[in-house]
């Protein structure tokens, strides 16, 4: 497969092994712009691992390559950090940073805005959903339902 900017996402021979066990093996695919694509499979088949690799949270085994809009973001000797890929990824386990307040966790994905704009956007959203009273709390002090509400994207 050759990188083609006509595709939004391309995977070329992506594999991932953990402790010698293949979780992903030689995955290649190309997704054109505007296409909605769904990963289906039983528990443990590698769906989350593939999404983690695409987003840059994890790396493919050597030899695999990933292209976004024709630009290589992972491959031999090349890796673009997750924050520079412009891909949203919602973790199944909420993935809140324990050392950050609710406000800071919410603002984390808004780094393209100034500090003041981030604060204003966070306050606007939490006031709309009635959770402004949680802004200065830390994840360990939230109930399960309060944590789940945080996992919904709002930017």
Model confidence at 80: pLDDT above 60: yes
Q: How many CA atoms lie within 13 A of 71 on its CB side?
A: 8
Q: How far is CA 151 from the centre of its chain?
A: 12
Task: Please tell me whether the overall predicted TM-score, pTM, comes out greater than 0.95 for this model.
Answer: no
Model confidence at 154: pLDDT above 60: no
**What pLDDT digit, counting tens, does each position of 123-133 carry?**
998 888 888 88
Mean pLDDT of the chain: 85
Tell the residue number behind the tokens 């296409």, with chain if given: 35
Q: How large a percentage of the chain has pLDDT more than 90?
A: 40
Model confidence at 144: pLDDT above 90: no
Domains, the chain, ranges and CATH?
Answer: 9-84 (3.40.50.300), 102-150 (no CATH)
Tell me what pLDDT residue 129 has.
Answer: 81
**What pLDDT digit, counting tens, does each position of 81-114 carry?**
988 888 876 666 667 788 889 899 889 888 889 9
Tell me what pLDDT residue 93 has.
Answer: 61
Query: Could you tell me the CA-to-CA distances from 150 to 52, 62, 126, 139 in Å, in that order?
Result: 20, 35, 10, 10
> For the stretch 98-111, what's the b/e string if a residue is b when 16 or more beta carbons lie within 10 angstroms of its beta carbon?
eeebbbbbbbeebe
């Amino acid at each position: 497969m050759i990188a083609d900017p006509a595709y939004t996402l391309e995977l070329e021979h992506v594999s991932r092994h953990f402790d010698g066990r293949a979780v992903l093996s030689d995955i290649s695919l190309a997704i054109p712009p505007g296409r909605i694509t769904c990963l289906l499979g039983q528990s443990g088949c590698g769906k989350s691992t593939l999404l983690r690799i695409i987003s840059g949270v994890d790396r493919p085994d050597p030899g695999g390559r990933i292209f976004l809009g024709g630009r290589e973001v992972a491959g031999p000797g090349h890796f673009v950090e997750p924050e520079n890929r412009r891909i949203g990824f919602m973790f199944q386990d909420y993935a809140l940073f324990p050392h950050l307040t609710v406000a800071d966790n919410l603002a984390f994905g808004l780094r393209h805005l100034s500090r003041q704009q981030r604060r204003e956007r966070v306050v606007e959203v939490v006031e709309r959903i009635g959770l402004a009273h949680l802004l200065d709390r830390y994840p360990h002090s939230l109930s399960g339902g309060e944590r789940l509400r945080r996992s919904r994207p709002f930017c």
